Chains A and B, each alone.
Chain A
Amino acid sequence: MNLILIALSAVLVNNIVLTRFLGICSFLGATKKSSSAIGMSLALAFVLIFSGVLSYSLYFYVLVPLGLGFLRLVAFILVIASLVQFVEMFIKRFVPSLYKSLGIYLPLITTNCVVLTVALDVAAVNGVVPSYDFVTMLVYVAASAVGYGVVTVLFSYIQERMAVNNVMPKAFQGPASALLVAGLMAIAFLGFKGMI
């Protein structure tokens, strides 16, 4: 039950894009076409799960026992950057068809703040004990990826429709109307607030 609550809260209530304002660059930048939005979300989900597991283990099994907890920001960003490189090389070598569809989105993920924030979230402590145990952490990370994917793909469908029916005044064309649409989506997601 607790796991379901964590998952629902990460997908709908505390949605990582619309409520916590993370990953806005890719949310606005990579959503002109639904195919690129889907590619971006899949690549992000892939990296997010690995980086969540790695940062969690690194923080609680290496940094904290050594008394180096304050170095977590430097450690996590290095883990994420090298992980992205590694995933890219691995996919290129073993799953070339996947590389063709995800390849260009992977390097962008290094500077996607979703990955770093989720890594920092799973390394949160409640006193001295970790706030998430390993399974809860996995659920939370996967749910964050789903939350990002749902919103990004929905948003890209709206953007596609808007590109066809161009009725916006000149000043609102481009980023301004995209931001307003995101605002309306955020109002819709505000409705989930009472759920938990």
Chain B
Amino acid sequence: MKKSSIVLDGIFKNNSTFIMLLGLCPVLATTSGISSAIGMGLAMLAVIIVSNVSISLIRKIIPNEIRIPVMIVIIATIVTVVEMVMKAYLPDLAANLGTYLSIIVVNCVIFARAESFALKNSVLDSLLDAIGTGLGFLLSVFVLALFREVLGTGAVDFKNFVNGETLFKFRIFPQEYAISIFVENPGAFLMLGLLVALITFLIPTFTNLKQKRAKQEAQKSLQANLVKEAK
């Protein structure tokens, strides 16, 4: 398997949120604003990289029967460390994420990657897979949060992770025209549903386009060959 395709598959083809619909709790809960979404995405990226690499490192000495408790303890330890570091250095972000930071422990995306990839592949491949999956998660929470925050408040507001002050604010349309349901709880379900529908609609269209283009190119080269032969 090509190294670049491991990363790209994790980001697009096997996107945990929009394609596989795995681990949706933090996706729905932390996307009312882009700053908490980015924070969650980065925490997830850190946890998945460390867990995939460490599980891949010891994959040959884990007995097959008890692999799930071993993985649970490893992931829980990593999450505890990430949580403590975040509480110490990024207190505002830690307060915003609350328990959603702790329940990364039971996130199915991390389990799925550990179980289906890290236990079977080399350390480098597992690292690349973790980077791909983590970036895919970061990208999808960012997109979801961007749509929700822009439609719900009419502006993008990025907050400092340390003290919660606004770093920059960019207003797109006035507050009066915003649909505030999108930053409330139901908006998370509605927006995710709409985006999933959009993506299921776009995928066949894209693949059709690709096939058409490939066909056209094949025909062109065929014609060119015919012309050459005729000459």
Contact = CB atoms under 8 A, between A and B. Distances in A.
Contacts of A111: 106, 108, 111
Contacts of A62: none
Interface in B59-87: 68-69, 72-73, 76-77, 79-80, 83-84
A190 interface: yes
A182 B21 CA distance: 15
A19 B80 contact: no
Interface in B145-193: 181, 184-190, 192-193
Which range holds the interface residue count of chain B? 35 or more
Nearest to A184: B186
B106 A112 contact: yes
Nearest to A190: B186
A174 to B, nearest CB: 8
Interface residues of A, number: 41
Contacts of B222: none
Nearest to A27: B24
A190 B198 CA distance: 26
Consensus secondary structure, chain B interface:
helix
A96 interface: no
B29 A20 contact: yes
Contacts of A25: 22-25, 108
B106 A176 contact: no
B108 A116 contact: no
B200 interface: yes
B2 to A, nearest CB: 30
A187 interface: yes
Contacts of B72: 77-78, 81
B196 interface: yes
B80 A175 contact: no
B29 A21 contact: yes
A51 B106 CA distance: 15
30 contacts: A20-B29, A25-B25, A25-B108, A28-B24, A70-B84, A73-B76, A77-B105, A77-B106, A78-B72, A81-B68, A81-B72, A111-B108, A111-B111, A113-B103, A120-B99, A120-B103, A169-B197, A170-B200, A171-B198, A171-B201, A172-B193, A172-B197, A174-B200, A180-B193, A180-B194, A183-B189, A183-B190, A184-B186, A186-B185, A190-B186
